[in-house]
Amino acid sequence: MTDTKGKVVAVNGNMVSVEFDGKVSLNEVGYVKVGGQSLKGEVIRIRGNTAQMQIYEMTNGISTDCNVEFTGDLLSVEVGPGLLGQVYDGLQNPLPLLAEHSGYFLERGVYLSALDENTKWDFTPTAKEGDVVFAGDSVGTVPEGPFTHKIQVPYGFLGSYTVKKIAKAGSYKIHDTIATLVDEKGKSHNICMSFKWPVKRAVNCYAERLSPEEPMVTKVRLIDTFFPVAKGGTYCIPGPFGAGKTVLQHTTSRNADVDIVIVAACGERAGEVVETLKEFPELKDPRTGRSLMERTIIICNTSSMPVASREASVYTGVTLAEYYRQMGLNVLLLADSTSRWAQAMREMSGRLEEIPGEEAFPAYLESTIASFYERAGIVRLRDGNVGSVTIGGTVSPAGGNFEEPVTQATLKVVGAFHGLSRERSDARRYPSIDPLDSWSKYKSIISRNLVEYAREIYKRGAEVNQMMKVVGEEGTSLDDFILYLKSEFLDAVYMQQDSFDDVEGATGVDRQKYVFSKIISILGSSFKISEKEEARGFFNMLRQNFIDMNYKTFGSKDFYDAEKKIDGILAEKGASVDSDVKALLKDGE
Ligand code: ADP
Ligand code: MG
């Protein structure tokens, strides 16, 4: 605590105005004292000697005679071994412990340590006496679940430090001193295995930022082939209720080619958050067969918790992601839903009586969203290792209207857009990512020309389908009708994917390449077919057999048997691949 004294002079919902005597800085944390409780808040504006604070708790009971204490610290998280597997609220309180402490209704004003202070960790030093180190460099390691957790020099350490003393290999608690560092002026600093870092400050203790090019494979065909995400990239998923957001989040968490997944469930209905909390620990990690929680952190806030903590949870999430990136790991942050966070910003801005922008969102909405997504990135660390933070944010636009400010601001900054479509989820075509509206700026695992060819067929087939609704099947030519059947075939056997089957639900890169070529050759073939009924029967059979093949393990005898059967069906109709498609396929190899 600092010497600055404050007194509440006004309360407006979650915003409290405090008159202070002394020094207060922006984003400083303070506590409002009410009836024996200390309620945490953050200074969000200072005018003269009045500070406006957003309070991270219910504010009932706060009145104009309450005292306020200031900490001199910015809103921070504690980082160190023991973060993996935790479920936190936005202020990094471990939720299961909080529930134990206060029973069914979470008591306000209770703040618990984020990391267990008594757990012992097997420390192995990697730095030696005399080494010169900088912030973010590691001085030793401890095993944490499946990873080698690097114990780092705190990010706030400016300049170079010489290692004066380093602990011997052995078991230590997070707050035991494990090294003594001497700064450029000769002053000694003891460090332990954990430290605090302000959540709103991006961690930049790396050598250089790289450009996100390597794909973050999700094993969802529609994503990897058509709308890929890169490691260190960003993407946005607008998700109307029931569109399959949760299922997609689970499949991505399980299968994405990353080390660690951080889920920031922010402001969604309590029911959905409970769902996340119940289901996540039951998800199996396909790599280890053990619980996915071993490499997951969940941060959650429901819509019934104070709005300010929604903001805290997205920042807490990204800060923890940056911390693990600093160990050379690949981290995926799923923020669900950023719209709720934006609503919190709007509410607070209204209370501050700021000049409103579009739809009453604050004028800085866009820059705030942009600077959040900018914290994603792939970086080379000073030790030569590469780590990444990929951010996927959902937005929940009211009435599915993508023109609203939050979706628009997000679309300006992200590298890929996976627009979930109500029409597709109603038709139970999952994942319901819209093949026409979605886009990505990242590189696909499949050659661009092949993907473009497939998209073109899909688009033209969809147009024929629209036209048929007007003129009927009789009014459609056989060629157009076959085009339509081809686009439906592509959709049914490749774009749609059943997540609930271990084989079909996770299509690896090699398999996607193999199967996609096969599909292209079918899309690019002409057949000896003379009427629509015949065409329909043929494509039905083809589709059914292809789907059967999708459920067979890639490379197994069953897989090749199913493929042979498909080849037989194709031969029977005199399938012949057009020469330009043959050339495309050859180029794409
Ligand atoms: P949301 O979270 O957007 O409200 P859910 O993810 O809960 O929607 O999905 C709703 C339902 O849709 C699921 O219970 C499931 O039956 C079905 N579903 C969604 N995605 C898939 C998928 N890829 N494969 C099969 N069924 C799916
Ligand atoms: Mg859901």
Q: Is any atom of ligand 1 closer than 6 Å to the C-beta of 242?
A: yes
Give 321's Cβ-side CA count (13 Å radius): 37
Mean pLDDT of 59-83: 94
What CATH number corresponds to the domain at position 69?
2.40.10.170
State the Cα–Cα distance between residues 240 and 396, nearest whole angstrom: 6
d(C-alpha 407, C-alpha 396), whole Å: 8
Residue 230 β-bridge partners: 215
Domain membership flag for residue 198: no
Task: List residues, by chain if needed, whose CB lies under 5 Å from ion ligand 2.
Answer: 245-246, 272
DSSP β-bridge partners for residue 68: 6, 32
Mean pLDDT of 124-144: 98
Closest-lying ligand 1 atom to the alpha carbon of residue 432: 20
- Largest separation between any pair of C-alpha atoms in the chain: 89
Same domain, yes or no: 414 and 481:
no
pLDDT category at 304 given cuts 50, 70, 90 is low
550 falls within a domain: yes
Question: Which are the contacts of 494, defined by CB distance < 8 A and separation ≥ 6?
Answer: 221, 222, 225, 515, 516, 519
Distance CA(69)–CA(103), nearest Å, equals 28
Section 329-338 average pLDDT: 93
Write down the pLDDT at residue 8. Answer: 96
Which whole number is the average pLDDT over 40-50?
Answer: 94
Q: Which ligand is nearest to the CA of 242?
A: 1
Ligand number with the minimum distance to the CA of 495 = 1
The CA 327 to ligand 1 mean position distance, Å, reads 34
Question: Residue 61: CB within 6 Å of ligand 1?
Answer: no
Range of the domain at 130: 121-193
Rg of the chain, C-alpha, whole Å: 27
Characterize the bridge pairing of strands 416-417 and 234-238. Answer: parallel
- Identify the domain boundary among 166, 193, 220: 193
Instruction: Examine the domain organization and report whether 534 and 553 are in the same domain.
Output: yes
Residues at the binding site for ATP are 239-246
Mean pLDDT of 74-98: 90
Mean pLDDT on 388-417: 91
In a domain, 442, yes or no: no
Q: Rounded distance, CA 40 to CA 62, Å? A: 12
End-of-domain residue from the set 392, 415, 436: 436
Q: In angstroms, what is the span from residue 167 Cα to ligand 1's centroid?
A: 51
Residue 520 and residue 428 share a domain: no
Q: Where are the alpha helices (DSSP H) in 128-269?
A: 221, 245-255
DSSP-assigned letter for residue 24? -
Asked whether residue 179 falls in the same domain as residue 247, the answer is no
Lowest mean pLDDT among 258-272, 436-450, 480-494, 535-549: 258-272
Residues 261 and 321 both lie in one domain: yes
Ligand 1 atom, smallest distance to 243 CA: 3
Query: How much distance in Å is there from the Cα of 239 to the middle of ligand 2?
Result: 9
d(CA 25, CA 67): 18
Cα angle 269-274-279, degrees, rounded to a multiple of 5 = 130
Residue 543 has pLDDT above 80, yes or no: yes
pLDDT band (50, 70, 90) for residue 588: confident
Whether pLDDT at 104 is above 60: no
Digit-coded pLDDT (tens) for 163-218: 999 999 999 999 999 999 999 999 999 999 999 999 999 999 999 999 999 999 99
DSSP 520-542: HHHHTEE----SHHHHHHHHHHH
Ligand nearest the Cα atom of residue 243: 1
| Ligand 1 contacts CB of residue 499 (under 6 A) | yes
Q: From the CA of 248, how far away is ligand 2's center (Å)? A: 9
pLDDT higher than threshold 90 for residue 140: yes
Ligand nearest to the CA of 496: 1
Q: What is the dihedral of CA 205, 322, 389, 202, to 10 degrees?
A: -70
- pLDDT category of residue 269 using cuts at 50, 70 and 90: low
Residue with tokens 């007194």: 7
List the 161-166 sheet strands across, edge first: 132-133, 161-166, 179-182, 188-191
Averaged pLDDT for residues 415-436: 95
Ligand 1 centroid vs 249 CA: distance in angstroms? 10
279 C-beta closer than 6 A to ligand 1: no
Binding-site annotation, residues: 239-246
Asked if 133 and 233 sit in the same domain, the reply is no
Q: Can you give the CATH number for the domain in which 249 is found?
A: 3.40.50.300
Q: Strand (E) positions, 134-283? A: 138-144, 147-152, 161-166, 170-173, 179-182, 188-191, 195-198, 208-210, 234-238, 260-268
Domain-embedded: residue 200? no
Protein residue with least CA distance to atom 25, ligand 1: 498
The reply to whether ligand 1 has any atom less than 6 angstroms from the CB of 246 is yes
By DSSP bridging, strand 50-55 and strand 15-21 are: antiparallel
Classify residue 79: in a domain, yes or no. Answer: no
Question: Any idea what the CATH number is for the domain that residue 141 is in?
Answer: 2.40.50.100
How far is the C-alpha of 37 from the C-alpha of 31, rounded, in Å? 9
Ligand 1 atom at minimal distance to the Cα of residue 497: 23
Strand, helix or coil for residue 338:
helix
* Same domain? 133 vs 93: no
Q: What is the C-alpha to C-alpha distance for residues 93 and 397, in angstroms, rounded to an integer?
A: 30
**154-170: b or e for each residue (b if 16 or more CB lie within 10 Å)?**
bbebeeebbbeebbeee
Mean pLDDT to the nearest integer, 516-526: 97
Residues 329 and 409 in one domain: yes
Q: Are residues 410 and 526 in the same domain?
A: no
Same domain, 261 and 366: yes
Does residue 165 form part of some domain? yes
pLDDT of residue 103: 61
Mutate to test the pocket of ligand 1, among 222, 223, 247 (most ligand atoms within 8 A of CB): 247
pLDDT higher for 36 or 374?
Answer: 374
pLDDT greater than 90 at residue 271: no
The answer to whether the CB of 243 is under 6 A from ligand 1 is yes
281 lies in the same domain as 396: yes
Quick check: is 32 in a domain? yes
Tell me the residue type at 463. Answer: E
Cα–Cα distance between 10 and 54 in angstroms, integer?
A: 12
- Asked if residue 238 has its Cβ within 6 Å of ligand 1, the reply is no
Rounded-to-10 torsion of CA 319, 320, 325, 330: -120
- The tally of domains found in the chain comes to 4
Tokens coding 353: 């009586």
533 lines ligand 1 (CB under 6 A): no
Q: Which has more pLDDT, 450 or 344?
A: 450
- Which atom of ligand 1 is nearest the CA belonging to 420? 3
The dihedral of CA 551, 553, 558, 564: what is its sign?
A: positive
Model confidence at 322: pLDDT above 80: yes
Domain boundary among 171, 193, 215: 193
Taking the centre of ligand 1 as the mean of its atom positions, its distance from the CA of residue 244, in whole angstroms, is: 4
Going by their DSSP bridges, the two strands 330-336 and 87-88 should be labelled as unpaired
Q: pLDDT (tens digit, 9 = 90+) per residue, 469-513?
A: 999 999 999 999 999 999 999 999 999 999 999 999 999 999 999
CATH number at residue 544: 1.10.1140.10
Query: What pTM was computed for the model?
Result: 0.94
Can you tell me which residue has the tokens 């504010």?
59
Q: Is 544 inside any structural domain?
A: yes
Question: Environment class of residue 524 by beta-carbon count within 10 Å: exposed (0-12), middle (13-18) or buried (19+)?
Answer: buried
Same domain, 70 and 89: no
Q: Does 66 have pLDDT greater than 60?
A: yes
Question: Which residue's CA is the closest to the ligand 1 atom numbered 13?
Answer: 244
